[in-house]
């Protein structure tokens, strides 16, 4: 460490240069120590009267010990009897904490001062302060930066707080054999062991497992494809969609693209080029011809491809396809579903009722019971029929059905009788002589209720028709072409 070479001198040998050098050394020390300051108000200055020349008495006033070493900025304020003394009346010696009046002051006059002084303590370290730009920083900067590093290493809230652990304790958890915290010996996990641990950690509340820790994020559906006519153009309409696929699933279909300038017959010469933008995460794509006004007329998936372009040269369309569109509609046998579940196609019968079933639900391998919706079924001129078939123990088609051939007619049928016996209110067969039997001990039979005018508005009422006439009031029945009270 370097030291200033001050020499010992006698009082009669003191020169101004010696005092100046000492002052310069003090200033350098203060700059490095970054000493603190304190503000003092109303401090009483002490009069100095030890001079042989009495004309100097009551002219020199100085602060008490430990209250000297004033700062020149802010400037000290001198007061005489509480009033501020003009600075022209005295000479300020800030470093010494003293003033020298140009004239003697009246005896007993109180002289006070307001000033800021340098204290004997350095400014406290600030653990948030930035480190010095160079090694010439102040002691405070260096100590503050060190305090900052201590808090970062220990994780404590302040540099003076005790750390949660010691370096020696932490080192005990890092064996020299492995160099890994908390691992005393090196181990290699087997594939089966790693899978078992992964399964344990990723098993959800329902017991399902995400194998290998894979978390699946759905990919986006493709944008609407671009369709370009290649070869001879025409006036035929075609529509296309595209779906993107990953290794575990398929997206909803893209918006549909329609062209009206296609060739009537697609071929290797005249075809529609379908292209689309890549979807991040997709493995490949399926291209769907959703409408064809020409040849071929079939619709469905026409290609599965990893590229981003397909030429529809009359490609065969897969039947019985499932496509989900942007409204979450599902289609079977159609690429343009118009409802939550849209089924379309022929040959979907149950083996006995072959026809053109549009929907078939079976419970067992014998296709009993089933629900079928038909259009154009033989024997029904209305063009639409709904059948709900019921199973029998012998698995023979007894033609037991609930049939609706149009919205205004509901028919119960058991072959060969079109209207079977029905019982309501009890679980047994109805009386052998009754086609309808109703049994209850808490409720009655409620016939149609109407006024006389409403009764007379019934077109061509047959004999046997029964009502309750609210105008009379009375039960009435039709007998021999007239209404009679019952």
Q: For residue 135, what pLDDT is reported? A: 59
> Where is average pLDDT lowest: 171-175, 206-210, 214-218?
206-210
Q: What is the pLDDT of residues 276-290, one digit of tens each?
A: 999 999 999 999 998
More confident position, 438 or 81? 81
347 pLDDT tier (thresholds 50, 70, 90): very low
**Angle in degrees, CA 90, 91, 96, rounded to 5:** 125
User: Of 64, 67, 139, 61, nearest to 100 (Cα)?
Assistant: 61
* Residue 230 confidence (pLDDT) above 90: yes
Looking up tokens 């017991």 gives 207
CA 450, 451, 452, 457 dihedral sign is negative
Q: For residue 257, what pLDDT is reported? A: 95
The mean predicted confidence, pLDDT, of the chain is 75
d(CA 257, CA 236): 14
211 pLDDT tier (thresholds 50, 70, 90): very low
Q: Per the structure block, which two tokens stand in for 15? A: 């020169």
More confident position, 392 or 475? 475
* Residue 435 confidence (pLDDT) above 60: yes
Alpha-carbon distance values, 122 to 119, 128, 299 (Å): 8, 17, 89
Sorted by sequence, the CB contacts under 8 Å of residue 215 that are 6+ apart come out as none
Alpha-carbon distance values, 106 to 57, 111, 335 (Å): 10, 11, 114
Give SS3 for 389. Answer: strand
Q: For residue 81, what pLDDT is reported? A: 92
Q: Per the structure block, which two tokens stand in for 369? A: 């019971």
Name the packing angle between helices 16-33 and 139-154 (round to 10°). Answer: 20
What mean pLDDT comes out for the span 341-351? 54
Q: Per the structure block, which two tokens stand in for 269? A: 């010469």
- Strands in 384-389's sheet, in edge-to-edge order, are 357-362, 370-375, 384-389, 401-406, 409-413
What mean pLDDT comes out for the span 295-306? 92
Cβ atoms of residues 168 and 63 within 8 Å = no
| Phi/psi of residue 49, nearest 5 degrees | -135, 40
More confident position, 218 or 351? 218
Q: What is the pLDDT of residues 381-425, one digit of tens each?
A: 444 555 555 544 454 555 555 555 555 555 555 544 444 556 565
Q: What is the pLDDT of residues 164-184, one digit of tens each?
A: 777 677 666 666 655 555 555
* Residue 84 confidence (pLDDT) above 90: yes
Q: What end-to-end distance do the CA atoms of the chain give, in Å?
A: 133
What percent of the chain is modeled with pLDDT above 90?
A: 37
237 pLDDT tier (thresholds 50, 70, 90): very high
Cβ atoms of residues 150 and 71 within 8 Å = no
| 359-387 CB burial, b ≥16 within 10 A, e <16 | ebebeeeebbbbebbbeebeeeeeeebbb
Q: What is the pLDDT of residues 101-133, one digit of tens each?
A: 999 999 999 999 999 998 876 666 666 666 666
Pairing of strands 401-406, 384-389: antiparallel
Q: Per the structure block, which two tokens stand in for 454? A: 């409403």
> Where is average pLDDT lowest: 13-27, 287-301, 390-404, 435-449?
390-404
Sorted by sequence, the CB contacts under 8 Å of residue 190 that are 6+ apart come out as none
- Strands in 482-485's sheet, in edge-to-edge order, are 449-450, 466-469, 474-479, 482-485
Q: For residue 207, what pLDDT is reported? A: 43
Give SS3 for 201. Answer: helix
3-state helix vs strand vs coil in the chain, percent to 5 = 15, 30, 55
């Amino acid at each position: 460490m370097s030291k200033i070479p001050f020499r010992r001198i006698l009082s009669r040998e003191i020169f101004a240069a010696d005092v100046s050098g000492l002052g310069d050394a003090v200033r350098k020390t203060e700059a490095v120590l970054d000493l603190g300051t304190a503000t003092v108000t109303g401090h009483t200055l002490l009069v100095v009267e030890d001079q042989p020349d009495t004309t100097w008495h009551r002219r020199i006033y100085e602060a008490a010990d430990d209250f000297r070493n004033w700062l020149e900025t802010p400037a000290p304020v001198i007061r005489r009897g509480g009033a501020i003394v003009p600075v022209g009346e005295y000479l300020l010696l800030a470093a010494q904490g003293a003033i020298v009046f140009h004239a003697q002051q009246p005896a007993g006059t109180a002289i006070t001062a307001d000033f800021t002084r340098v204290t004997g303590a350095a400014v406290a370290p600030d653990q948030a302060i930035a480190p010095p730009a160079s090694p010439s920083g102040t002691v405070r900067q260096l100590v503050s930066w060190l305090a900052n590093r201590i808090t970062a290493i220990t994780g404590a809230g302040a540099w003076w707080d005790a750390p949660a652990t010691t370096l020696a304790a932490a080192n005990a958890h890092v064996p020299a054999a492995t160099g890994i915290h908390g691992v005393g010996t090196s181990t290699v996990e087997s594939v089966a062991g790693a899978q078992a641990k992964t399964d344990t950690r990723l098993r959800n509340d329902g017991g399902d497992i995400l194998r290998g820790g894979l978390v699946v994020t759905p990919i986006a559906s493709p944008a609407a494809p671009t369709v370009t006519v290649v070869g001879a153009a025409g006036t035929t309409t075609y529509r296309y969609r595209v779906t993107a696929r990953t290794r575990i699933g398929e997206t909803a279909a893209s918006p549909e693209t329609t062209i009206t300038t296609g060739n009537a017959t697609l071929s290797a010469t005249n075809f529609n080029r379908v292209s689309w933008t890549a979807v991040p995460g997709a493995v490949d794509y399926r291209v769907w011809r959703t409408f064809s006004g020409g040849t071929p007329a079939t619709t469905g998936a026409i290609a599965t491809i990893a590229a981003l372009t397909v030429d529809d040269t009359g490609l065969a369309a897969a039947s019985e396809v499932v496509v989900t569109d942007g409204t979450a509609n599902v289609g079977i046998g159609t690429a343009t579903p118009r409802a939550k579940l849209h089924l379309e196609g022929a040959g979907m019968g149950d083996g006995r009722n072959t026809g053109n079933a549009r929907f078939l639900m079976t419970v067992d391998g014998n296709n009993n019971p089933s629900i079928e919706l038909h259009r154009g079924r033989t024997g029904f001129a209305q063009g639409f029929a709904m059948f709900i078939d019921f199973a029998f123990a012998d698995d023979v088609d007894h033609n037991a059905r609930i049939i609706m051939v149009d919205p205004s007619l509901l028919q119960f049928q058991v072959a060969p009788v079109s209207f079977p016996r029905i019982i309501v209110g009890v679980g047994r067969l109805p009386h052998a002589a009754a086609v309808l039997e109703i049994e209850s001990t808490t409720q009655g039979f409620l016939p149609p209720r109407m006024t006389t005018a409403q009764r007379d508005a019934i077109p061509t009422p047959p004999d046997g028709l029964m009502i309750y006439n609210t105008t009379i009031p009375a039960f009435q029945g039709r007998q021999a072409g007239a209404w009679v009270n019952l």
